[in-house]
Structure 1
Amino acid sequence: MYLGIDVHKRYAQVAVMDEAGEIVEEVRVENANLDDLAQRYAGSQAAIEATSNYYHIHDTLSEHLDVTVAHPKELTQIADTDKKTDRVDAKELARMLRLNSVPESYVPTDEVRKARALVRGRQTLVEDRTEYANKIHGLLSDHGITEDVKPLRVEGREFLRELSIPTPWDTLLESYLEMIETLTKEIRSLEQQIEECAGSLKETQLLMTIPGVSYYTALTIYAELGEISRFDGDKSVVSYVGLNPVIRESGDSRIEGSISKRGSSRVRWLLVQAAHNAVHNSNDEYLSRFYDRLARRKNSQKAIVATARKMLVSIYHMLDRGEVYDPPGVSA
């Protein structure tokens, strides 16, 4: 049997298709009861979409079924359906599974999931803290206070607590400051766990041999890439991160445009920052020579993005070979 399972927050719509392509059962199941369904069709194949809550459901179903996780952006057959409903989506998943045409999505290991939870959790807290800092800047602006105050710094918060502004804005300001301090403590706590996690993994230990790559950058790269063996080569990992240039060909002309920006924006940003660090602060001769050569022909922004791509190629070969950073032995 082929089970197409359209997963939602609390329930799943299931379509069961036989070898002949006939639907033998359609049922809506609470997610908590999916284990019973899986046992009933044990040994069958199932397809689910990579939604935000798919980890637990994948693991539950995998106890009894051969589960394929479908890449949501590549499910064009479902996305382009004129009549899009849960039942239609479930049947389309079952049909594609039977035809062996489901575009598969990577399912991270438990180790990678833990790393992702840590670095993504930290990013969420940092974004929340920045939001409260922006609220403070808005509050100051509303009261004509033009000083360049930095609420994320201790001295900035001390200055703000000395301000005299009318009620209720004084209460709001104090609340925002307390939220910033609370979030800062939580971020530091997570950073300690991130440092411990990065220090315990072979992959991140290798990445930290790159000058200027911190434990946080190393763990983020590892968490977002996952197992390096899933990539066919360095071009595959560059494309996955979205640092590959978009090529446009027409007749005899070939134009190399901007990067595709597919994949994880946080990894792209971190790689660019790491490239800046390598070129301007860490005296990395390998990357510095590459950057300087490009910067003479192109603008500095294009040169630094290309340097980040060069670093990612090195990262791929380091992880693939299990080697420390050794530029002469890692070619682009």
Structure 2
Amino acid sequence: MDENGEIDREVRVENANLDEIAQEYAGSEAAIEATGNYYHIHDTLSEYLDVVVANPSELNLIANADTKTDRVDAKELARLVRLGSVPESYVPSEEIRECRALVRGRHKLVENRKDYANKIHGLLTDHGITRKVKPLSVGGREFLEELTLPAPWDTLLETYLEVIETFTDQIERLEVAIEDRAASREETQLLMTIPGVSYYSALLIHAEVGEIDRFDEDKQVVSYAGLNPVIRESGDSRFEGGISKKGSEKLRWILVQCSRVAVHRSEDEYLSRFYQRLKNRKSGKEAIVATARKLLVSIFHMLDRKEVYDPPGVSA
């Protein structure tokens, strides 16, 4: 698209000739949408072009087209580039990408293993077995291995158990790699000084937050995690609702899990006091989400200042 908004050329680009297209328009501005596989496309184009990655959720709010197709999306991206109005999405570094691949890979394997555990629960229910069994525990495994079911259900049960064992082996392999990576990073070593934060949760937080210097203040990282409250104002009225839930769902999840451990198991004095004070007037769920936000604010200042966890009023 030229400076006047007229389409200069329209072409369907295959991954194989990205280099050719990029070289032809070297020095130009370009935009791509942040899809699940945009890293390779971004890196290839960036060799020759000034590339910005557009945030899909914000693009949907800006675009006013009734029809969504690749051609319409491309025209909208070109228009936004011409106007300098592309809603930018964060492009992680190679190191952050590697960390994300490890923790997200483990998360996917855990979810897949859980699916097969649920299949076993369904199998037991179908045969009137009401005993509560945990297929991932030692006791549950022993019970299931001794259980006699009619054919072909016995074969199904045996197969599901074998699949679970395979997933467990692969998860353990990834955990070794995750632990090694967490031990080698300054950011994750700092995060592991927080009660309730393990090498896995530390690497997950690091991977999802990315480089901390891209945030100017703690409010920005809280908003990035979707833990900021939604505020509605009308006239003289001001209403503070639930959290926005925009941004990384995995980051919100792990912060909540770490907060639960810090409050209920690790007895983190700083977070426990905050949680108990809120719980006197809010639900437990609201209190723990607010505690997760409090934890993230501490994390921002720790990483920004390169300091270990030492909140005010609590001895190290």
> Does TM, normalized by the shorter one, top 0.5?
yes
Q: Which amino acid aligns with 2:178?
A: I
Give the TM-score normalised by the residue count of structure 2.
0.95
Q: 1:267 aligns with which of 222, 229, 251?
A: 251
Aligned to 1:55: 39
How much does 1:319 deviate? 0.9
Aligned to 2:171: 187
Structure 1 stretch displaced more, 177-186 or 305-314: 305-314
Structure 2 CA distance for aligned equivalents of residues 150 and 165 of structure 1: 18
Q: How does 1:303-314 map to 2 (within 5 A)?
A: 303-314=287-298
Q: Deviations over 1:115-137 (max 9, x none)?
A: 10011100100000000000000
Q: How does 1:26-37 map to 2 (within 5 A)?
A: 26-37=10-21
Equivalent pair of 1:247/1:255 in contact (CA under 8 Å): yes
Q: 2:125 aligns with which of 129, 132, 141?
A: 141
Aligned to 2:142: 158
Aligned to 2:5: 21
Q: Which amino acid aligns with 2:21?
A: L
How much does 1:297 deviate? 2.6
Aligned to 1:45: 29
Q: Which amino acid aligns with 1:109?
A: S
Aligned to 1:232: 216
Aligned to 1:169: 153
Q: Deviations over 1:129-169 (max 9, x none)?
A: 00000000001111111111111123312211211111111
Structure 2 CA distance for aligned equivalents of residues 275 and 85 of structure 1: 42
**What is the number of equivalent residue pairs in this alignment?**
314
How much does 1:19 deviate? 2.6
How much does 1:298 deviate? 2.3
Q: Which amino acid aligns with 2:281?
A: R
Q: 2:115 aligns with which of 131, 134, 139?
A: 131
How much does 1:250 deviate? 2.5
Give the TM-score normalised by the residue count of structure 1.
0.91
Change (3 A) 1:114 1:140: same
Q: 2:190 aligns with which of 206, 212, 223?
A: 206
Structure 1 unaligned regions, length at least 5: 1-16
RMSD of aligned C-alpha atoms? 1.6
Structure 1 stretch displaced more, 268-277 or 186-195: 268-277
* Structure 1 outlier segments of 4+, above 4 Å: none
Aligned to 2:264: 280
Structure 2 CA distance for aligned equivalents of residues 266 and 86 of structure 1: 29
Structure 2 CA distance for aligned equivalents of residues 256 and 238 of structure 1: 16
Q: Which amino acid aligns with 1:70?
A: A
Q: 1:66 aligns with which of 27, 50, 63?
A: 50
**Tell me, what secondary structure is at the counterpart of 1:46?**
strand
> Identity of aligned pairs, percent?
73
Equivalent pair of 1:241/1:263 in contact (CA under 8 Å): yes
Structure 2 unaligned regions, length at least 5: none
Structure 1 stretch displaced more, 48-57 or 246-255: 246-255
Structure 1 CA distance for aligned equivalents of residues 131 and 69 of structure 2: 54
Structure 1 stretch displaced more, 288-297 or 182-191: 288-297
Q: Deviations over 1:178-229 (max 9, x none)?
A: 0000000000000111111111111111111111110111111111111111
Structure 1 CA distance for aligned equivalents of residues 313 and 98 of structure 2: 32
Q: Does 1:106 align with 2:107?
A: no
Q: Does 1:322 align with 2:285?
A: no
Q: Which amino acid aligns with 1:190?
A: L
Structure 2 CA distance for aligned equivalents of residues 173 and 84 of structure 1: 45
Equivalent pair of 1:78/1:84 in contact (CA under 8 Å): no
Structure 1 CA distance for aligned equivalents of residues 62 and 242 of structure 2: 30
Equivalent pair of 2:226/2:243 in contact (CA under 8 Å): yes
How much does 1:329 deviate? 8.6
Q: Which amino acid aligns with 2:309?
A: Y
How much does 1:26 deviate? 0.8
Structure 1 stretch displaced more, 319-328 or 282-291: 282-291
Q: Deviations over 1:81-105 (max 9, x none)?
A: 0243322221221111011011000
Aligned to 1:197: 181
Higher strand content, 1 or 2: 1
Aligned to 2:227: 243
How much does 1:253 deviate? 2.4
**Tell me, what secondary structure is at the counterpart of 2:113?**
helix
Q: Does 1:295 align with 2:275?
A: no
Aligned to 1:220: 204
Equivalent pair of 2:270/2:313 in contact (CA under 8 Å): no
**Tell me, what secondary structure is at the counterpart of 1:23?**
coil
Structure 2 CA distance for aligned equivalents of residues 77 and 267 of structure 1: 24
Change (3 A) 1:62 1:329: farther
Q: Deviations over 1:251-309 (max 9, x none)?
A: 32222211111122222121112112212222321112212222223232222221111
Equivalent pair of 2:19/2:44 in contact (CA under 8 Å): yes
